[in-house]
Amino acid sequence: MLITLLAGCGLFSKNARLADIPISIDGNPEEWEPFPVVHDDPKGDNITNEYDISIVKAFSNNETMIMYILVESYIPMKDFTSVEIDLQYGDDIYRVGLQPDDLPQGVLAHKIGIEENEIQWEVLTNSLGARLSSDQAIEISIPMDYFTDSTSLKISDLRIMGGICCNQFEYFAIDYLNPFD
Ligand SMILES: [Ca+2]
Ligand SMILES: [Ca+2]
């Protein structure tokens, strides 16, 4: 199988054909039309009016080892601070943090435990080589070099973040999926 949908229930059987569709990370979601929606998000569950997640599409290309994510909004998007994506790989939880217009992009951290009710993270890299573009939609590509088997990688949450990164009192999720499973 050339691509793996990162969520959903396995109803989809056009994987080989979809692998031929190039994804341009330019904020234009046009080329995603044939891909299935992997998450439908409710309208109006956003905290502030910068973004209201409507649908998410996501897949990994198992040949190029790149993951692609599309996030669309019910309302015209405004500025946001970052996108956080939680990836589950077996029992392991990884978190990708991406800010717009910040190159080379992406922080990848691995959850190593909980101490005094606070989650402890080990940062694996500050330059993941991911890309994010936002215009009509948010498009993201993430290299999967840190994961040996992309077929068992799942998105467990995705958050559009606002406020001041990453101050715990002023940094908040504008909208989030919670969760795919
Ligand atoms: Ca595009
Ligand atoms: Ca929403």
Least confident of 11-15, 52-56, 126-130, 170-174: 11-15
Strands (E), the chain: 3-5, 39-40, 53-61, 66-73, 82-89, 92-98, 107-115, 118-125, 131-134, 138-143, 153-163, 171-176
Pick the CATH number of 3-176 from 1.10.10, 2.60.40, 1.10.3470, 3.30.420: 2.60.40
Which residues have CB under 8 Å from 74's CB, separation 6+?
A: 43, 44, 52, 53, 54
Measure 27 CA to ligand 1 centroid, in angstroms: 5
pTM for the predicted model, two decimal places: 0.89
- Per-residue b or e along 77-103, where b marks 16 or more CB atoms closer than 10 Å to that residue's CB: beebbbbbbbbbbeeebbbbbbbeeee
What's the gap in Å between 161 CA and the centre of ligand 1? 21
Q: Average pLDDT for residues 48-77, to the nearest whole number?
A: 94
Which structure tokens are listed for 33? Answer: 């039309």
Q: Taking residues 80-105, what's their average pLDDT?
A: 88
How many alpha carbons fall within 13 Å on the CB side of residue 31? 15
pLDDT confidence of residue 10: 43
Tokens at 106, concatenated: 């992406």
Q: What are phi and psi of 18, to 5 degrees?
A: -65, -30
Q: Which residues surround ligand 1, an ion (CB under 5 A)?
A: 24, 26, 28
Residue 41 alpha carbon to ligand 2 centre in Å: 5
- Lowest model confidence (mean pLDDT) among 3-7, 25-29, 37-41, 96-100: 3-7
CA 74 to centroid of ligand 2, rounded, Å: 7
87 forms bridges with which residues in the sheet? 94, 155
Domain residue ranges in the chain? 3-176
The shares of helix, strand and coil residues in the chain, as percent rounded to the nearest 5, are 5, 45, 50
Task: State the alpha helices, DSSP H only, in the chain.
Answer: 15-18
Closest C-alpha to 155, from 167, 168, 164, 142:
142
pLDDT band at 2 (very low <50, low <70, confident <90, very high): low
